[in-house]
């Protein structure tokens, strides 16, 4: 199972939000590049990066930081946060990221998602952020009133190569991921699914691995706040990759 330590970038710093709320954020002393180096040193192979400035503006604000991380460390990186154009996707793929995550723009415009998948084969990940079974968009400020599973059925054939499912009510709360809903999504999805939101302990990772063993469509899990707050030890976490 793949483990994706998370780096959220805001104002050139590592931050973590609670339920996606920009007014409820924790800033950390370590820089995004230093944090990526730390993950690399511990032996992680994958990295999940969100450009929160990009999410607010729709521009690739922190492209330079992401380029530096790609150049310095041999990590497979997925990047999201306000990617709203084919040009932005190209900037990231040219920088060497493995997957570009499309969220709100893909939900609001299915044709954009379809076109991106055609133009950038095997490079697009779909990010579905849900609250009580309905998709949320625009940094989780808007409810799209689209049931998650219905939307997935509509776009399932488009050709995205990874799906990241986040339960908003769990994100940043460290109360454990929504494994039940993630399983429902993975049962429908044509591509592998990443569990996101709410990881609180190494036990959550072990549960995810059980799910991964029973369901080969679960590809991995994203771990963020629990690392920064010291609830999960990186030595312990990295053992779960190949254990």
Active site residues: 8, 129
Ramachandran category for residue 217: left, alpha or beta (phi over 0 → left; psi -120 to 50 → alpha): alpha
Instruction: Return the closest-CA partner of residue 113 out of 1, 105, 214.
Output: 105
Cα(134)–Cα(208) distance, rounded to whole angstroms?
23
Q: How confident is the model at residue 140 (pLDDT cuts 50, 70, 90)?
A: low
Cα(71)–Cα(53) distance, rounded to whole angstroms?
21
When pLDDT is averaged across residues 32-55 and rounded to a whole number, the result is 97
The pLDDT, as a whole number, for residue 65 is 97
- Number of alpha carbons in the 13 Å side-chain half-sphere of residue 81: 25
Q: How confident is the model at residue 142 (pLDDT cuts 50, 70, 90)?
A: confident
Place of tokens 């820089």: 31
DSSP H/E element including 190: none
Cα(120)–Cα(122) distance, rounded to whole angstroms?
6
Q: Which residues contact 180 (CB under 8 A, 6 or more apart)?
A: none
The pLDDT, as a whole number, for residue 17 is 80
Is the pLDDT score of 243 beyond 60?
Answer: no
Where in the sequence is the domain holding 140, given as residue range(s)?
2-242
Is the pLDDT score of 69 beyond 60?
Answer: yes
Residue 203, Cβ density class (10 Å: 0-12 exposed, 13-18 middle, ≥19 buried): exposed
Strand partners, 220: 2, 194
DSSP H/E element including 158: none
When pLDDT is averaged across residues 152-156 and rounded to a whole number, the result is 98
Domain total in the chain = 1
Q: What six digits make up the tokens of 186?
A: 């993975």
> Count of CB atoms within 10 A of residue 235's CB?
9
Query: CATH no. for residue 73?
Result: 3.20.20.70
Is the pLDDT score of 110 beyond 90?
Answer: yes
pTM for the complete prediction?
0.94
Q: What six digits make up the tokens of 81?
A: 């946060």
Average pLDDT score, the chain: 93
Is the pLDDT score of 143 beyond 80?
Answer: no
Is the pLDDT score of 25 beyond 90?
Answer: no
Residue pLDDT, tens place only, 188-241: 999 999 999 999 999 999 999 999 888 889 999 999 989 988 999 999 999 998
Residue pLDDT, tens place only, 159-196: 999 999 998 887 767 689 999 999 999 999 999 999 99
């Amino acid at each position: 199972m793949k483990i994706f330590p998370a780096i959220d970038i805001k104002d050139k710093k590592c931050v973590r939000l609670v339920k996606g709320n920009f007014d409820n954020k924790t800033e950390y002393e370590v820089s995004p590049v230093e944090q990526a180096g730390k993950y690399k040193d511990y032996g992680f192979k994958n990295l999940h990066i969100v450009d929160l400035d990009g999410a607010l503006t729709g521009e690739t604000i922190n492209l330079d930081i992401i380029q530096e991380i790609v150049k310095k460390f041999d990590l497979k990186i997925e990047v999201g946060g306000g990617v709203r154009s084919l040009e932005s996707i190209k900037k990231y793929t040219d920088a060497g990221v493995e997957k570009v995550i499309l969220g709100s723009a893909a939900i609001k415009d299915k044709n954009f998602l379809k076109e991106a998948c055609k133009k950038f084969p095997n490079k697009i990940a779909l990010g579905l952020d849900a609250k009580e079974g309905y998709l949320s968009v625009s940094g989780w400020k808007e409810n799209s009133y689209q049931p998650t599973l219905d939307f997935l059925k509509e776009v399932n054939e488009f050709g995205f190569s990874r799906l990241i499912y986040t339960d908003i009510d769990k994100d940043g709360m460290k109360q454990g991921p929504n494994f039940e809903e993630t399983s429902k999504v993975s049962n429908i999805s044509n591509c592998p699914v990443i569990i996101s939101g709410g990881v609180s302990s190494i036990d959550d990772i072990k549960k995810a691995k059980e799910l991964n063993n029973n369901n080969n469509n679960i590809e991995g899990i994203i771990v963020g706040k629990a690392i920064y707050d010291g609830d999960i030890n990186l030595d312990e976490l990295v053992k779960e990759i190949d254990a």
